[in-house]
Every structure is written in C-alpha cells, then in structure tokens.
Amino acid sequence: MSDLQSLQKGPVTFLNNNIECIILAGGLGTRLRSSVPDLPKCMAPVAGKPFLAFVIDYLLQEGVNKFIFSLGYMHEAIEEFLKIKYPALNYQVVLEEEPMGTGGAIFLSCKKSTENNVIVLNGDTLFKVNIKELLDYHTQNYSSCTLSLKPMKQFDRYGVVEINQDGHIQSFQEKKFYENGLINGGIYALNVKGFLEIKFDDKFSFEKDYLEKYFSTVKMMGLVQDEYFIDIGIPEDFERAGKELA
C-alpha cells in the first residue's frame, strides 16, 4: 500500500513539527491614521508595546516556529523592530513593491513557504485560536482552506460566514446588522500548492477573489473557536485593545 493510499484510509493528524505562519503586515491602516499617524497599523502601541508583539508572542506559544512577514507600507519600522526584539526568530520578509491586495500578498508569500500547509493571519488582529487544532482539522478534511470562525452577537462591522453541520462553507453574507452569527476571524490554514495553482491577477483580494469566488468549487471548511478576538483596525477597538491587553 502506498503512503497516499494509507493516508486516505483514515484521518490525518498534523504530525509535522514545523508550523509556518504568514503574517500580513503591509496595510496602510487609513482608518487608524488619526490615532497612529506615523506607524504601520500593526506597530500601533498597545499597552506599552507594538500590537505586532502580542501577535508574535501568541503564535510562539502556539508552536509556530517559522514566520513569513508580508510587508509594504513603512516596512523599515517593522524590520527594525523584528531585528531588535526578536533576534532569534526564524523568519523571512516578503516585500510588496506596490500594494497587491491581501490575495496578492498571500500568493507572493506562499511562493516562499516551505510547508505543504501554512497559517495565514493579519498583523492587526489577535484571535487566540488553537493553531494545532486548526491544522489538524484542516488536514483531516483535506481542505484547500480552513477558516477560523468567531461567534459574535449584535454586530454590523463584519459579514457572516455560514457552514453546514459538517463544517463546509456554504456562503458569505455581506456586512449589515446581525443579532448573532459566525464571522471570519482572519486566521486561515491554507494548502500552499493548491492555492498557487489557481490563476489570479497580480493584485487581488483574498476574501473576494478567492474565498467568496471559489468556496463552491474547492473544499473550504470553517472551524468555530470561541476565543479572545480583537481587531485594532478602527480607533474604538484600538483603545479597547489597550485596556484589555494591559
């Protein structure tokens, strides 16, 4: 029996000791510019240190040991921070010469990945999911992309993701007021080879041009994890992060 046949007989468990993560940190952060005018959004000071430090520390605790930082706007500040505060970190930098959208940034970073599956997340969001549980669920289901979903109540800032009882993505609903629902928490397990085989434009949106366009033709799953979530993209939540993470 071949290795592939044996894998297909039963569930797959994520046994690789290497966990690689792409952190998107190239955004302009225009909505936060009034509060943090001279820094990339992920470098906004929260409870005495750049928000990105909370993200990196959480990932290290979760066993992530390889990092790819997708950088663009004011990348020098982030690179200097990494050299000083994380000198032993195993990382590489992928630099956007011009904004390529979330999809373009992920696509470019995936070309540098050395793993079959990679974790993808935003540098301005902290969602404390169980990374190994996410990867196990992703590999066991032979998923192309697995989304971490956060249950929320009474919100209008996010759209809603609908899944069936088996966890398959059924739809993406637009932003409006919802009494309750599952939101895309912005952490993904992504099959690198499958993603790179799709023909995209150089500049594209991961959310619109991949997730919403392909969920019905490639296998996408959703894993609900009701863990701590904060997105500092707007001034109100930036201020809330300072209180909650202090």
Tens of pLDDT, residues 92-118: 999 998 889 999 999 999 999 999 999
Task: Report which of 52, 45, 46, 47 is spatially closest to residue 71, judged by C-alpha positions.
Answer: 52
How many angstroms separate the CA atoms of 44 and 238, rounded? 8
Two tokens, residue 194: 């499958």
pLDDT reported for residue 35: 56
DSSP state of 174: P
Cβ 56 vs Cβ 82: under 8 Å: no
Confidence tier at 26 by pLDDT (50, 70, 90):
confident
Q: Hey, what CATH class is 18-244 in? A: alpha beta
Confidence tier at 233 by pLDDT (50, 70, 90):
confident
Q: Say if residue 31's pLDDT is above 70.
A: no
Two tokens, residue 228: 């701590």
Confidence tier at 12 by pLDDT (50, 70, 90):
very low
Domain ranges of the chain: 18-244
Task: Report which of 139, 127, 121, 118 is spatially closest to residue 225, judged by C-alpha positions.
Answer: 127
Q: Say if residue 138's pLDDT is above 50.
A: yes
How many angstroms separate the CA atoms of 131 and 219, rounded? 20
What is the percent of the chain with per-residue pLDDT over 70, rounded to a whole number? 89
DSSP state of 102: H
Lowest mean pLDDT among 23-32, 102-111, 173-182: 23-32
Confidence tier at 16 by pLDDT (50, 70, 90):
low
Two tokens, residue 152: 């929320």
Q: Say if residue 244's pLDDT is above 60.
A: yes
Residue 68: its H or E element: strand 66-71
Which residues fall within 8 angstroms of residue 15, CB to CB, at 6 or more apart? none
pLDDT reported for residue 73: 85
Q: Say if residue 1's pLDDT is above 60.
A: no
